[in-house]
Structure 1
Amino acid sequence: MRPSDLAREHGLSAQAVRNYERDGFIPPAERTSSGYRVYTEVHAAALRAYLALVAAFGYAYGGRIMHAVHEGDLDHAFTVIDHGHGRLLRDRQTLDAVREAVGHLTATAREQEPAPGAGSAPGAEGSAAPGRPGAPGLRTIGELAHRLDVTPATLRNWEEAGILTPVRDPETGYRGFGANDVRDADLAHLLRRGGYPLEHIATVVHQIRTAGGTDELAGALDGWQRKLTARGRAMLTAATRLDVYLNTVGPAPYR
């Protein structure tokens, strides 16, 4: 097969196929005596596997998986795949937690005081006086950032956008995040991974706070649920095509 033959199946250009070969995502092509590339079913299977991996895990992970396969390190390839599945599971768990939080919110009063001891232990940001950062039931910005695996700067951006409304210690200015802030941060983290802009997330969070209409919220969560389902299906397809490729190339040099 020529580069154009491989490209046609996927709606790509012949140059894209050559680029994938150059970058190590498919094996090196055989060459004719005049130097023209000749691809085989092995290359076709590799291209199908790579594109399926990209659809399931993204370009960075897809490339790492194919490089590991071509280096004969299947354990590393499977570890990268496992990380992708782990992130999908975390996203599902976060979505479930947000749905539960929203359901609880709409069934109870809007304003609730944090339960005693529900937050982290007193920290370094401020005194332990009730309603101040460092008090039981409140998290510091560092603790909340660690919980979400984001930077404190990200949380400050969310605050600036109106997504988070932490209390402030009047003496030090340190932020304290209560139960509602944790809930809103979970929602913001989820929707950001879904590609939603901060302005949209701020609108959704405002609807939750006011316990008003939740149609927009439900639509956002349903849309992200569909994305998670599509990603799960894409992972199944990628696993199938990678398995076909591994069976095509045999045990060596790709073991």
Structure 2
Amino acid sequence: MTTLRPSHLAREHGISTQAVRNYERDGFLPPAGRTPTGYRIYTERHAAALRAYLALVTATGHAAAGTIMTAVNAGDVDRALTVLADGHARLLRDRDTLDQVRRAIGPLTEQPELTGISSIRSIGELAHRLRLSPATLRTWERAGILVPARDRATGHRIFRASDVRDAELAHLLRRGGYPLDHIATVVAQVRSAGGTEELAAALDGWQRALTARGRALLRAAARLDAYLEG
């Protein structure tokens, strides 16, 4: 069996030898053998495990990748495959959300103000429209998702038609499971878009990112399968 040093594994991926040791310590790689003097001995199986782990990091993130590899190395392959399947499920959900966003904001951004929707004078009215609590809308405002104007005389919020658009889009994304900081970024893109072409370009970028994630999941699955076969 060909033996490898930590530097061999590290050099393949442009990482440090200490990172390789840390991955072994954390259970992402199987335990290494030792020489009589205590030096680690790695094999092609360790190299395959490292390739799988790093591919999974790209596809699913550090936490999920670590869970998958520790489960595999503990002999719980079904647990590992379940976590990997969750990554595919999230990607499918994100694709569905993108499709919903395209449908939702296509007609909403054709004009500066939403057709057929007048300004809403109070947070209670907007909350009633969306069937949400005013407290939820205040939270969205603190997160930068909503930026209503203020009545100069009373200081009360005034939700314009564009604010209603932002709130409806945020509500859609929230139902899709997105965190508030992500929703704030998307809504800001919609708010700052100079027209439908700019917004379409932003959505196309989102689509490309989802495609990249899908391919990353395929590569990670292939690496993981190669490790399991070994």
Which bracket does the TM-score occupy, shorter chain normalised? 0.7 to 0.9
Matching of residue 206 in structure 1 with residue 191 in structure 2: yes
Instruction: State which of 205, 214, 222 in structure 2 corresponds to 1:240.
Output: 222
State the AA in 1 paired with 2:146. Answer: I
1:39 alignment partner, SS class: strand
Cα 1:142/1:230, change in 2 over 3 Å = farther
- In the alignment, is the contact (CA less than 8 A) between 1:29 and 1:38 conserved in 2? yes
Aligned to 1:71: 74
Residue 207 of structure 1 and its aligned partner are, at CA, apart by: 4.8
Q: Could you tell me which amino acid in structure 1 is paired with residue 142 of structure 2?
A: N
* Aligned partner (choices 163, 185, 193) of residue 146 of structure 2: 163
Partner AA of 1:43 in structure 2? H
Q: What residue in structure 1 maps to residue 154 of structure 2? A: none
Question: 1:229 maps to which residue?
Answer: 211
* Paired residues, number: 211
1:112 deviates by: 3.0
Contact persistence 2:10–2:17 (CA under 8 A):
yes
Shift in Å, 1:78: 1.2
**1:55 and 2:37 are equivalent in the alignment:** no
What is the CA deviation profile of residues 174-195 of structure 1, one whole-angstrom value per residue up to 9, with x for unaligned ones?
Answer: x9x96762224446898x77x8
Per-residue CA shift, 1:108-141, capped at 9, x if unaligned? 7723349xxxxxxxxxx97xxxx4644xx43214
Q: CA RMSD in A?
A: 3.6
TM-score (norm 2): 0.76
Which position in structure 1 is the counterpart of 2:152?
Answer: none
Q: Residues 94 and 141 from structure 1, CA distance in 2 versus in 1: closer, same or farther, beyond 3 angstroms?
A: farther
1:29 Cα deviation from its structure 2 partner: 0.6
Q: Structure 1 residue 144: deviation in Å?
A: 7.3
Matches of 2:132 and 2:86 in 1, distance apart?
29
Contact kept? 1:162, 1:202, Cα under 8 Å = yes
Aligned position for 1:112: 116
Q: CA deviation at 1:221?
A: 1.3
- SS of structure 2 residue aligned to 1:98: helix
In structure 2, the partner of 1:253 is: none
Q: Aligned residue for 1:170?
A: none
Q: If each structure's helix is expressed as a fraction of its own residues, which one has the higher value?
A: 2
Q: Which residue of 2 aligns with 1:98?
A: 101
Displacement of 1:204? 2.6
How big is the shift at 1:142? 8.5
1:82 Cα offset (Å): 1.4
Distance 1:42 1:142 in 2: 56
Q: TM-score, normalised by structure 1?
A: 0.69
Q: Are 2:181 and 1:181 equivalent residues in the alignment?
A: no
Counterpart among 8, 11, 30 of residue 11 in structure 2: 8
Change over 3 Å in CA distance of 1:75–1:188 after alignment to 2: closer
Question: Could you tell me whether the CA contact under 8 Å between 2:35 and 2:41 is conserved in 1?
Answer: yes
Query: Taking every aligned residue pair, what percent have the same amino acid on both sides?
Result: 52
CA pair 235-28 structure 1, distance change in 2 beyond 3 A: same
2:37 aligned partner, one-letter code? S
Q: Tell me how far apart the structure 2 counterparts of residues 142 and 233 of structure 1 sit (CA, whole Å).
A: 41
Gaps of 5+ in 1: 115-124, 146-151, 167-172, 249-255
Cα 1:239–1:218 shift into 2, 3 Å = same
